[in-house]
Every structure is written in structure tokens, then in C-alpha cells.
Amino acid sequence: MADETAPPHDLEGKTIVVTGATRGIGSALTHDLLARGAKVYCVVRDAERASALKDEWFRLTHNPECLVVGADLADMGQVRVAAEEIGAKEESLYALVHNAGAWPTTRRETVDGFETTIAVNHLAPFLLTHLLVDRLVAGAPARIVSVSSAVHTRGAIHLDDLQLEKSFSGRAAYCQSKLANVLFVRELAARLADKGVTANAVHPGVVKTDLGREIPRIIRAAVRLFSVSPEDGAAPLVRLVTDPELANVSGKYFHRFEQREPARQALDEDMQRKLWDLSCELLGLAPDAI
């Protein structure tokens, strides 16, 4: 008798890229996608851990189509190499899920000279999307999902100081980056409107992950009391990737399963374009490449 609790094989023949697949939401999401029959490229910093998980996922799902791509998303050179590796193997993609994230409490710069939070949470997804967009268009209808957060409502985009060199706090940097996620998908959705590719942002809930591992332990312990499991956190992402009813929904913000109006500043079309242009400038991309 079939296991009625098992995910349907509704992703057979579809190829999906997931960043940050080795821990928390990313690990739970990857497991679910593999169980549905998808081929999944796991873009991860810890390739050794990913290889071990790959064996476990195969044992649980019997799906061998899990490919590990090592890349530290704080290094834009590694992001480019990862995109080249995927693009060399795949002519089309069904979905790109930007799940990886960082929340350092002290200001640090990457090898490219970017502040780490904005680099990992915004610039890396921005760059990876640009480098893989042709594959997504070729696979249309296709979907892009970016993990944002409810704290985007507390963020502000500092166009004159995106790296927060003048004044830094871990909280301000994180909130700015999560607001950038929503601004990005709204501008991206408009640019891809006639190409069969959707782009949406989602707050998965407060999830038991190690994202805030630099936050004081007593605060982390209190937060975890109200946190959901990684599997529960991954569920809204699974829906955005698989739900047929969302096939034509784009440029939206979801608070778990509910579509909500994002923060007022996220609706600012002028800010969307300015952040887009600044991001292109920082990454050496043409503003009209998408």
C-alpha cells in the first residue's frame, strides 16, 4: 500500500537550484524536493556536509539526482563559478530558491570588500539570478523564490552607504538586507513579466536554525521557544515552488502561506530601480541585462 504521507512525485523532470541546502530550512526543503522527484543542485559552503546529507537523502527518497556545488556566497567569484558549473550542465531550470543567509553581529568585509550581510543576503542572490536567468527563461514556466523576513518592515535601504561603513549594527544590516530581498523580487518580477518566470519573497516564520548563532545565547534560547521546525519553515517555500495556483503570481510577499502587503518602502518603485542600478554597479553588471 502506498504511503499517503509521502510527497507526490510532482517535480519529476524538473531541475531546481537551492542555496544554503545543508542546514535548517534549506536541508528540509531539499529533502522535500528530492522526495517529489526533482533534480536539485545544492549550492553550499560546506560541501563535505552536503555530501553526507546527499547520502542520507538518497536513503530516504531513493532519488539520486542531488548534485553538490561548493560555493561561499560571500565570495562573488565563487558565485560566478557555481553558476558556470550549473549552466554548463543544464540548458533549463524550473526554479531557483535563494535560501542561504547570514546575520553577523559585527561588521566584517568579504574578499570583494562588501559588508558580509548585504553580500550574502542580497548581492549573491542578485548575481546568481543574473547568471542563471537565461536557463530559467528556457525552462519557463519557472519560479524564483527569495527567503526574506518579517523584519524587512524595520529595514531601511542606505543607498549612500549600503555597506554601513558610517554606522553599523547587526540588526540594521540584517533588516536592510531583508528589505532588499523584497525590493529585488518586485523589480525582478516586472522585468520578467513577459518571460514566463515569476519571482516572490517569503517570510518562512521564526525557524529553529543556526542563522542567529552570533546573537547572545539567552536571546536565542528565548526565541527558540516560539520557533517552528525547519520542516515547518520549509513548507511555505515548497508551496511557492510547487503550487499550480501560484504559477502566475509574481512580485509578491508572503508571510508563510498568506500573501501580504509588504512594508511601504518595499512598494517604492523608485527605490526598487535605484537599488537595482546600485547592485549592478557594485557587481559589474549591465542594468538592463534582465
Q: How far apart are CA 55 and CA 219, in angstroms?
A: 35
> Among this protein's residues, is 174 annotated catalytic?
yes
Asked if residues 103 and 110 have their Cβ atoms less than 8 Å apart, the reply is no
Q: Return the sign of the alpha-carbon dihedral for residues 204, 159, 261, 97.
A: negative
b vs e for 207-245, b when ≥16 Cβ sit within 10 Å of the residue's Cβ?
bbbebbeeeeeeebeeeeeeebebbbbbbbbbbbbbeee
The three cell numbers of residue 189 are 518580477
Query: What φ, ψ does residue 120 adopt, rounded to 5°?
Result: -75, -40
Asked if residues 239 and 246 have their Cβ atoms less than 8 Å apart, the reply is yes
224: Cα within 13 Å, side-chain hemisphere: 14
Instruction: Detail the DSSP E strand segments found in 9-158.
Output: 15-19, 39-44, 66-70, 95-98, 142-147
Q: How far apart are CA 58 and CA 105, in angstroms?
A: 36
- Residues carrying an active site annotation: 174
